[in-house]
Amino acid sequence: MARQILEESRIHPAIRDRISALNADIVKEVQDAIAANAVVVVGMRQNPMPKRARSLLDVAGIGYNYLEYGSYLAGWRRRNALKMWTGWPTFPMVFVKGALVGGSADLAQLHASGELAKLLA
């Protein structure tokens, strides 16, 4: 399943650098965290779903790195870079062994089925 992404050849050369540099620091920070940690949760303040994901991991005794970017009104433009990079529309974004596994509900399903333990083994 390939995601629809505008081909670079369809972007005028004069704006390619601006597009590639836009909020690249936040994407790099998440990429670095994913490379250094088995589980990474990317969230935001005031959203209960990242808290649920973190609580599930805490109860299960699974270590993770948590990155928090703004709140509903603050930081949304920077968070858009993460949404565009992953294609995932909501927070949290949960990564296990470098792979995006989804959000809080998806993490709960993986845990309940035993798949999370297999991924971490």
What does the pLDDT look like over 34-55, one tens digit per residue? 999 999 999 999 999 999 999 9
- Does residue 92 have a cis peptide bond before it, meaning omega lies within 30 degrees of 0? yes
- Based on DSSP, count helices (H) and strands (E) in the chain, helices before strands: 6, 4
* Nearest Cα to Cα of residue 62 among 1, 119, 2: 119
Structural domains of the chain, count: 1
Residue 1 lies in a domain: no
- pLDDT confidence band for 16 (50 / 70 / 90): very high
pTM: 0.93
Residue 4 lies in a domain: no
Quick check: helix, strand or coil at residue 39? strand
Residue 112 lies in a domain: yes
User: What is the arithmetic mean of pLDDT over 19-35?
Assistant: 96
Residue 50 near residue 92, CB atoms below 8 Å:
yes
* Full domain range(s) for residue 20: 9-120
Checking if the pLDDT of 58 tops 80, the result is yes
Residue 97 near residue 42, CB atoms below 8 Å:
no
Residue 3 lies in a domain: no
Residue 34 lies in a domain: yes
pLDDT digits (tens, 9 = 90+) for 67-88: 999 999 999 999 999 999 999 9
